Structure 1
Amino acid sequence: MTEADQSAVASGVRDTEAPEEEEAGSAGYEEGVTDLLAALAYGELSAFDRLAEDSREAPTLTGRAALASMAAAEMGHFRLLQDKLSERGVAVEDAMRPFAAPFDAFNASTAPHSWLESLVKAYVGDGLAADFYREVANWLDPETRELVLTVLSDTGHSAFAEREVSAACAEDDSLRDRLTLWGRRLLGEAVTQAQWVVAERDALSELIIRGSGDLAGIGSLLRRLQNNQNKRMSRLGLG
């Protein structure tokens, strides 16, 4: 992620001094948490759809079964979030609605053209989102933090993608180059999506500002995400 990318995301958060820390249970905090859980819920629902579809394109029955199992796990995570939102008096459909357009736009603009591209997309895109949500989880009350971390638990996709992509790239340098460019494009598209979501959801924006401290803290968060992303690409065998 370039400095320009980091600046773009940071500019999506209102350029204000971080207000005094807001306690869990306050109206602003609760609204921000609802937005966070709703974004996670729509992400899990989208992941289920994508993995179920990708499983049908798998070149082997082993791969098909593996992705189908992961899709089922994503739906289990969605149900946990649905139940939590219901406890908060919020219908999951209503809560997710503001996030449908940006998530769907991201998926439409990054539609994979091959089995391996679909694996890289899930690995890179979902991994980046999970890193971000884990950062935010550090700023939440213990009960909500535990739920978020449970939902972000690895369904087994990471090891599967690393094995499949690394093996394919080891035999074809041109494939490795193409998938490296694909991974970089995914990162750029994800940055654009994150910018939109943060800019449009004031309560979520305030939650992030308070947790990170200020815009400089957001910059540090983005650098950590970038470092994790570089490591993730390396594990795939992509430079």
Structure 2
Amino acid sequence: MSEHRSTPPSAASTTASDGGPQALLELLGLASYTELATFGLLASRSVDAPDLATRQTLAEAADQALGRQLRLLELASGHGVGAVDLMTPFDGSLTDFDARTQPGSWWEGLLKGAVGHGVAADLCTTLARGLPDGDAAAVLAVVEDATRADTTLRLLTDAAARDDVLASRLALWGRRVVGEALTLVQALLTRHPRLADLARSAAPGDAPAAAGDVPSWLLAALTAEHTRRMDRIGLAA
């Protein structure tokens, strides 16, 4: 995420400068880009899955991720912004994350996807709550579906229950991946001030005043949700 690419002004930024829904479009771009990445990861894991049933399960999960992305792109198209222009500001944002989290096994690759997508979905859900009510409802209708998508978690849960050694290795791996994912979140909000503004707007009433672009309460909330997710899998976070 810390890798930065210079990109030409996109339709999304043009719309923003013309007084359009700037923060909404940035959030839609982020959410669409992460769903596209999730689709690619699940599809690749499906190709070399250990059995036919798992291959089919992951193929269906990949299709669901692409379906969510298309719903997000449809929201953006209502503002005259196409898919490529919408996502271009985030192109390459996962490069450092991927380089730092090269899985050592098929199961580690699957957990990387579950952790990375889980943090991304939780982030987008939180940021969506900083939008005006109508926009928030439209985005949450899609991104909250992502937080409920538990197909990959079920596969990991079953595998961890069958193999204590694998469970121990995945627990360690999950801690590494979430650390990198939270670093990615910080880089994202620093690089995209409108997303940081959404985080501040979404702050709960008892949250401490934000200092800088990444509110401490947001990182704490993402960490807590990750811990709950790992607990559901049966892995110690």
TM-score interval for Structure 1 and Structure 2 normalised by the shorter chain: 0.7 to 0.9
User: Where does structure 1 lack aligned partners over 5 or more consecutive residues?
Assistant: 1-24
1:97 aligns to 2:94 (yes or no): no
**Larger helix share, 1 or 2:** 1
Range that drifts further, 122-131 or 168-177: 168-177
Question: Normalised by the size of structure 2, how large is the TM-score?
Answer: 0.80
Deviates more, 1:105-114 or 1:120-129: 105-114
SS of the counterpart of 1:215? Answer: coil
Equivalent pair of 2:121/2:146 in contact (CA under 8 Å): no
- Which residue is 1:148 aligned to? 139
After superposing the two structures, state which structure 1 stretch, 224-233 or 106-115, moved more: 106-115
Identity of aligned residues (%): 36
8 Å contact 1:139–1:211 — kept in the other structure? yes
Corresponding letter in the other structure for 2:67: G
Q: Does structure 2 conserve the Cα–Cα contact (< 8 Å) formed by 1:31 and 1:204?
A: no
Displacement of 1:134 in angstroms is 1.5
| Shift in Å, 1:235 | 1.3
**Residues 203 and 162 of structure 1: CA distance in aligned 2, closer, same or farther (over 3 Å):** closer
What TM-score comes out, normalization by structure 1 length? 0.79
Query: What is the distance in 2 between the residues matched to 1:207 and 1:230?
Result: 24
Kept after mapping to 1: 8 A contact 2:126/2:199: no
The match for 1:204 among 195, 202, 221 is 195
Question: Which amino acid letter does the alignment assign opposite residue 215 of structure 1?
Answer: A
Distance across 2 between alignment mates of 1:144 and 1:119: 32
Alpha-carbon shift at residue 29 of structure 1 (Å): 8.2
Map of 1:235 onto structure 2: 232
Q: How many residues are paired up?
A: 214
Work out the CA distance in 2 between the residues paired with 1:156 and 1:39. Answer: 19
1 or 2 for the larger relative contact order (CA 8 Å, sep ≥6)? 1
Partner of residue 183 from structure 2, selected from 192, 197, 207: 192
User: Any idea what the Cα deviations from partners look like across 1:45-75, whole Å, max 9, x if unmatched?
Assistant: 1111111111111111111111111111111
Superposition map of 1:85-234 within 5 A: 85-152=76-143, 153-154=145-146, 157-158=149-150, 160-212=151-203, 214-215=209-210, 218-234=215-231
Q: Is the contact made by 1:67 and 1:157 (CA closer than 8 Å) also made in structure 2?
A: no
User: Match of 2:107, as an amino acid?
Assistant: L
- What is the distance in 1 between the residues matched to 2:42 and 2:30? 18
Q: Call closer, same or farther: CA 1:60–1:46 in 2, change over 3 Å.
A: same
List per-residue Cα deviations over 1:4-60 (Å, max 9, x = no partner): xxxxxxxxxxxxxxxxxxxxx997882122111100111111111111111111111
**Structure 2 unmatched ranges of 5 or more:** 1-15
